[in-house]
Amino acid sequence: MRWKVFLKVSKKENAVRILSKMEETFDRTILTSTCEKYWKDETLYEANFRISLDSKNITNTVFQSLLLSQKLGRNWCVLGPIETLPNKWSFEGICNQPNFLSLNWARFEIESK
C-alpha cells in the first residue's frame, strides 16, 4: 500500500515524528520512506511511504485499506477497485480534510502484483 501525505510542519524532524506516530496508529512498519519540503508550498512537507497489508485477496485488501485510512480522516474519496485484467486491479483513496495530527492531505494507492 503506497501513501503520499502532506504534513503541515516547520521542520523535517517534526515531519519524521508525525510519520512515526502514523506508524504507531497503523500498527504497521513503514517500509520505505521519503520526506522533503514540498516545492509548491514551503509550509508543507511531502512524504511518500509504503506499508504492507496482510491480504492478497482484493476484498480483504480493500477492507483493510479502508480501516487503515479511517485512522487518518473520515472523509475519503475512493476510486475503484478497478479490475483491468483478471487478477489485475487497483484501488485508491484521497482525503482533503484529514483529522490526524498535522496532516494536510493524504492519498493511498494499492495495485495487485
Alpha helices for the chain (secondary structure H)? 12-26, 58-69
Q: Is 7 exposed, middle or buried (0-12, 13-18, 19+ CB in 10 A)?
A: buried
What's the mean pLDDT when you consider all of the chain?
93
Q: What is the pTM of this model?
A: 0.91
Q: Phi and psi for 32 in degrees, rounded to 5?
A: -135, 150
> How confident is the model over 15-69, as pLDDT tens digits?
999 999 999 999 999 988 899 999 999 999 999 999 999 887 888 999 999 999 9
Full residue range of the structural domain in which residue 91 is found: 2-111
CA end-to-end span of the chain, whole Å? 11
Q: What is the pLDDT of residue 105?
A: 96
Overall domain count for the chain: 1
Instruction: Return the C-alpha cell found at 48.
Output: 511518500
Are 57 and 70 in contact, with CB atoms under 8 Å apart? no
75 three-class SS: coil
